[in-house]
Amino acid sequence: MDLPNSNAQTTDHALGLFLASVELKAFRIARAALRHEDDALDAVQDAMLHLARSYAHRPPEQWKPLFYRILENRIRDMQRRRSVRNRVMSWLPFTADADGESDPIAEAVSPEISPVRRLELDESLVALERALATLPRRQQQVFLLRTLEGLDVAQTAHAMGCSQGSVKTHYFRALRALRMQLGDLQ
């Protein structure tokens, strides 16, 4: 019997199950931060690849915080890159229209949400997504990691690279802001 091969197959199986369990939530967290479907998919894919290549040998209970830590870093990198790109593009004369108006498609908040999907979505969810989009990024990420992914305070702190006290503060502020915006969510 080939024990190392058997162990490798077990790890592959466990890793596959883990990735399948987090991929949808991870995508939604990335989409909330990046507000772009393809960017969010890229971020999740990068995080999956990085985890599988560099941390697959770690115990499975460490995978979730590691995965979200990688995803968080990836989201931050993409946001920085986008910010630099926007700054550079704002200096170029040909980026604006002749009448000075910017491109509404490029500036759309959530281009991935089609009208058809909007109709399909629950009103509450649309309202929640809008409210989430107004939150500061750290609050938004902490809130989604805690609420959507169900990470505890310590795991969230590890994923976000901050203290547990910061996680509690961000989470409370996010919850209070959403409560103020949404009122009684049905």
List residues binding other proteins (CB under 8 A): 8, 11-12, 15-16, 19-20, 23-25, 27-28, 37, 41, 44-45, 48-49, 51-53, 56, 117, 120-122, 124-125, 128, 147-148, 175-176, 178-179, 182, 185-186
Q: Give whole-number Cα distances, 100 to 11, 82, 83, 90, 109, in Å.
A: 56, 21, 21, 12, 20
Least distance CB 107 / other proteins (angstroms): 22
From 125, 162, 126, select the one nearest 142 (Cα to Cα).
162
Given the complex with other proteins, which of 58 and 85 has the nearer CB atom? 58
Least distance CB 43 / other proteins (angstroms): 10
Given the complex with other proteins, which of 45 and 73 has the nearer CB atom? 45
Q: In this structure, what token pair is assigned to residue 36?
A: 């772009």
**CA separation for the pair 126, 105 (Å, rounded):** 19
Given the complex with other proteins, which of 51 and 160 has the nearer CB atom? 51
Given the complex with other proteins, which of 76 and 112 has the nearer CB atom? 112
Least distance CB 160 / other proteins (angstroms): 19
Long-range contacts from 75-84, C-beta under 8 angstroms, 24+ separation: 75/30, 75/33, 75/34, 75/43, 75/141, 78/34, 78/39, 78/42, 78/43, 79/33, 79/34, 79/137, 82/34, 82/39
Least distance CB 182 / other proteins (angstroms): 8
Given the complex with other proteins, which of 88 and 130 has the nearer CB atom? 130
Least distance CB 76 / other proteins (angstroms): 19
